[in-house]
Structure 1
Amino acid sequence: MNTKAKNLLKNIHYTVTANVLVLTISVLLNLFVPKFIGVEDYSYWQLYVFYSSYVGFFHLGWLDGIYLKIGGKKYEELDKSTLGSQFWYFFIFECGLSLVFSLFVCLLPISEPKVPILLFTALVSIIRNCTTFILYILQSTNRIKEYAQVSRNDRYVYLVFLSVYLFYGGRNYLLLIQLDVLARLLVTIWGFLKLKDLFFSKPLSVSSLRQEIFHNVKVGSNLMISNIMGMLIIGVSRVLIELHWTVETFGKLSLTLGISNLFMTFINAVGVVLFPLLRRTNPQKLSALYQTLRAVFVPISYSLLLVYYPLKLILESWLPAYKQSFLFMGILFPMILFEGRMSLLVTTYLKTIRKEKLILSANVVALLFSVVGSFTAIFYLESLLGAVGIIVLSSAIRCVIGEILLARAIKLKIIKPLVIELTLTIIFIFGNSWLRELTSFICYSSCFLVYVFYDRSSFLSNLKRLVRLSKVDQSQ
């Protein structure tokens, strides 16, 4: 096996190992924290987690522009003075934005429990965006081992803090939030020291970097807006549910989404490796490689839906207070199919061929559907299950539109497999909504086996091809 193949497998090993460990921690956080603290405290903690997931909006595309421009370069090739200086100006910019946001929080009539949550969100936005800067540098230059370390270590530290706090009887959600902020700060400082030669390089004046910064924002704005819209597709429904019902209902829905997102950990692990790899791949090979990746990924992702049935039984006995959550899970679980494919394949490919506007187009359509559908289901029909259904349907629309646009760009035909896959998804959701658990399991399992049998030759041949491709020099 040649050096590049070994490096690829090694990088996948780093990210998968890192994400397996993060997955374990996520399981502990999602399953053990609600066991120890009350539904209300857990719900407010999840509200902070939800708010803080949107702090990437505060970099206004600046970091995405850097990420797209340096993706695929070697670390030694970077202009360290330019990037290092941009980091410090970026840090000052983030501090200013967070201060303004905090002032608005203090001046506006916001309910008392949400004020400290929003203030901690403003604080953690500085930390998380600086971490993103570090991670983008490491990922873009293929320093995947260090990327994996920086991206996971804050969860290790947080788990230790959290375990000690809960062991000694701590149950306050504000302390859980403070421990999260502290853990992220410590690991961000550690990541900063990893790139100290870049951050302490010769500083440049802001006037000399003004054009570079504006260009980065311009280049990255489409991707940043796309990412935010992609998050809002799900986020809109969650916000409206919290406004119309209670924070406890929001917490129960968040538990379900958290469990579903655990499976995304593995998918994102491979996606981290794919972007710099695809940027170095011969453009003429991208179409064939996409067919291969898709033919392998899709059947594996549909097999994950089988995990739902035993998982639901275990969780219902472990967390009886959240029984309503697991009713949602039967509808939401297919999100791992759509979000996973969008993250691993569609978005990664469109970024590689510099078609970020197509990502934006798919997200705009899905977001509009999510807004209209959520308002209708929540305020007109007052149907919580309807709102949950809108979440997964919006995710499906985004993925399908994104993949069709990508297929056109790289000249592929995917309508037939899309129809088959969507039919299998509908069978899963319908069974969980209207049939008994055992009947639903038998129904979906039977249909899945038929699908696998029908697709077996394509899956096996593409799996072998993917193994062979890993041995080929990607620069040729």
Structure 2
Amino acid sequence: MNSNVKKFIQNFSYTFIANVLSIVISTVLILIVPRFIGVDEYGYWQLYIFYTSYISYMSLGLTDGAYLRFGGYKYNDLPKNVFVSQYWFLVVFDIVVNISIASFYNLISINTNKTIVVLLTSITGILVVPRSLLTFMLQATNRIKEFSVIIILERLIYFILIIIFLLNGIRKFEYLIYADIIGKFCSVLYSIFVCKELVFGKFASFKISVKEIWLNISVGIKLLVANFVSMLIIGIVRFCIEKNWSIETFGKISLTLSISNMLMLFINAMAVILFPALRRTSENHLPAIYKMMRTIIMIPLIGLLIFYYPAKIILVAWLPQYAESLTYMALLFPMCLYESKMLLLINTYLKTLRKEKLLMEINLITVGFSVILTSISVFIINNFNFTILSIIILLAFRCITAELCLSKMLKIQVKKDIILELFMTIIFIAVSWYLNISVALIIYFIAYVIYLIIKKNDAVYLWKNIRSLLKTN
């Protein structure tokens, strides 16, 4: 077997285990927590998760820049004293920023529960932002095993504590957040242990430290803005739902989004190891690898939409108080197609080709589109259904636009595949929303069989290439 393929498989196995555990934990929490706590309490818990998803962007782009600049390096070749300076800069910076945010919100807020959420989010920010520099360097230098252990440790402690709280009759959202913070704190300690050379030691000179911090920020700021804006695409819609409707509605839709996003954990397992691998690959091979990876993820993902039908039946029976919101899975489930392709392929390739500016521009355009669509659906026509549908419209628009740009750089043809995937998405949403589950399942299954027949040659080509790689020494 090709040594590069062997290393890729080995690294994937580590992240696969970490992400399978995350999926199991997420599934259990999604199914169990709403069953035991009130809709209000669940809403505030989801609000914390929503806020913390933006916390990592307080790095100013420093961690993103380091990831881009040192992707493909060996860990021992990293300039350790430079990273010591940058780590402690992030610690001090985030302490100051998060304390300021918490103090300001405490002065202006009249909602005690939201104040608690913001305060605990600020504590999380102090923990996770400096840690991100260490985890990014583990990913960039292909130390995937250590990175995976950090994820496993955080999620496992988080899960165990939540189960303990629920079994002891503790139903308040604050304790669910405490469990998350404790899990993150333990993972921070382990990340410091495995990256102690980047945390403890002699600082680089002040001049070099400032120069490196500025260089990483200047390189990473475009990627940071691109990622932050990417979060805003759905974030604007969710924020307006919380403001225009209620915390209960926000919690219910967050549950549906969480279920729809579960498949993303598998994709993330591959994205983590693909970037450093591609940075070490000749640009001549990138188009062929893209076509192979595209076929590998899209054919199974389009097929996995079939599991929506039994999943909805089970979830409605288990969580009857969320039955109404679970109907929106029909509109949101296909988001995994576009988010998976964006995360694994398009983002990774644009970063490899150092086209962060293009990624940022596409995301900014999509956010502008998000503001327009959300304003119309929420404030003008006040239509909740269209507000939810706008999420998949926005994600599809961004993904298709970005892939068309990328295909020109790689000189490959993807328009036929884009049209096919869009057609399958429309069929799924239409039959799942308007028809009963049995009829919808039959129609979508027939459509998927036709899709497989159309994609037969691509599947055969992929299989031949995989066999060739496995036989290569």
| Deviations, residues 32-51 of structure 1 (Å, cap 9, x unaligned) | 00011011101110000001
- 8 Å contact kept, 1:89–1:206: no
CA distance in 2, matches of 1:2, 1:451: 32
Give the CA deviation at 1:110: 4.4
Give the CA deviation at 1:60: 1.4
Give the CA deviation at 1:77: 0.9
CA distance in 2, matches of 1:28, 1:231: 25
CA distance in 1, matches of 2:467, 2:383: 47
1:342 aligns with 2:336: no
Matches within 5 A, 1:148-297: 148-297=148-297
| Deviations, residues 170-211 of structure 1 (Å, cap 9, x unaligned) | 001011112211111111111111111222222124333112
The residue aligned with 1:327 is 327
Aligned CA distance change for structure 1 residues 101 and 468 (closer, same or farther; 3 Å) = farther
Instruction: Report the TM-score, using the length of structure 1 for normalisation.
Output: 0.97
CA distance in 2, matches of 1:365, 1:442: 38
The residue aligned with 2:30 is 30
Give the CA deviation at 1:304: 1.2
1:134 aligns with 2:134: yes
Give the CA deviation at 1:81: 0.8
Give the CA deviation at 1:408: 1.2
CA distance in 2, matches of 1:322, 1:27: 16
Give the CA deviation at 1:331: 0.4
SS state at 2:455 partner: helix
Matches within 5 A, 1:43-192: 43-192=43-192
1:386 aligns with 2:386: yes
Q: Percent identity?
A: 38
CA distance in 2, matches of 1:243, 1:470: 54
Give the CA deviation at 1:127: 0.9
Q: What amino acid does structure 1 have at the position aligned with 2:81?
A: S
CA distance in 1, matches of 2:275, 2:228: 19
Q: What amino acid does structure 2 have at the position aligned with 1:134?
A: L
- 8 Å contact kept, 2:105–2:118: yes
- 8 Å contact kept, 2:157–2:182: no
- 8 Å contact kept, 2:23–2:265: yes
Give the CA deviation at 1:316: 0.4
For structure 1, the residue ranges without an aligned partner over 5 or more in a row are none
Aligned CA distance change for structure 1 residues 163 and 396 (closer, same or farther; 3 Å) = same
CA distance in 2, matches of 1:182, 1:296: 37
Aligned CA distance change for structure 1 residues 471 and 370 (closer, same or farther; 3 Å) = farther
| Deviations, residues 250-303 of structure 1 (Å, cap 9, x unaligned) | 000000010111110101101111001000001111011111111222111101
Q: What amino acid does structure 2 have at the position aligned with 1:79?
A: P
Aligned CA distance change for structure 1 residues 389 and 58 (closer, same or farther; 3 Å) = same
Q: What amino acid does structure 2 have at the position aligned with 1:375?
A: S
CA distance in 2, matches of 1:266, 1:335: 14
| Deviations, residues 349-384 of structure 1 (Å, cap 9, x unaligned) | 000010111211221121111111011111111111
| Deviations, residues 54-76 of structure 1 (Å, cap 9, x unaligned) | 10121111110000000000011
The residue aligned with 1:457 is 457
Give the CA deviation at 1:134: 1.5
- 8 Å contact kept, 1:8–1:470: no
CA distance in 2, matches of 1:49, 1:206: 37
CA distance in 2, matches of 1:390, 1:324: 18
Q: What amino acid does structure 2 have at the position aligned with 1:251?
A: G
- 8 Å contact kept, 1:292–1:463: no
Give the CA deviation at 1:467: 4.7
- 8 Å contact kept, 1:66–1:220: yes
Q: What amino acid does structure 2 have at the position aligned with 1:385?
A: N
CA distance in 2, matches of 1:267, 1:441: 25
CA distance in 1, matches of 2:278, 2:145: 18
SS state at 1:73 partner: coil
| Deviations, residues 11-56 of structure 1 (Å, cap 9, x unaligned) | 1111111111110000011110001101110111000000111101
The residue aligned with 1:362 is 362
CA distance in 1, matches of 2:206, 2:245: 48
The residue aligned with 1:353 is 353
CA distance in 1, matches of 2:125, 2:71: 24
For structure 2, the residue ranges without an aligned partner over 5 or more in a row are none
- 8 Å contact kept, 1:70–1:141: yes
Aligned CA distance change for structure 1 residues 470 and 192 (closer, same or farther; 3 Å) = farther
SS state at 2:73 partner: coil
- 8 Å contact kept, 2:153–2:186: no
| Deviations, residues 386-423 of structure 1 (Å, cap 9, x unaligned) | 10000111011111011111111111221121111101
Between 1:197-206 and 1:433-442, the stretch displaced more is: 197-206
Give the CA deviation at 1:472: 5.5
- 8 Å contact kept, 2:157–2:179: no
CA distance in 2, matches of 1:407, 1:98: 41
- 8 Å contact kept, 2:45–2:174: yes
- 8 Å contact kept, 1:157–1:183: yes
- 8 Å contact kept, 1:267–1:344: yes
The residue aligned with 1:406 is 406
Give the CA deviation at 1:4: 2.6
CA distance in 1, matches of 2:302, 2:472: 29
Q: What amino acid does structure 2 have at the position aligned with 1:229?
A: V
1:422 aligns with 2:422: yes
Give the CA deviation at 1:341: 0.3
- 8 Å contact kept, 1:261–1:336: yes
- 8 Å contact kept, 1:331–1:392: yes
Instruction: Report the TM-score, using the length of structure 2 for normalisation.
Output: 0.98
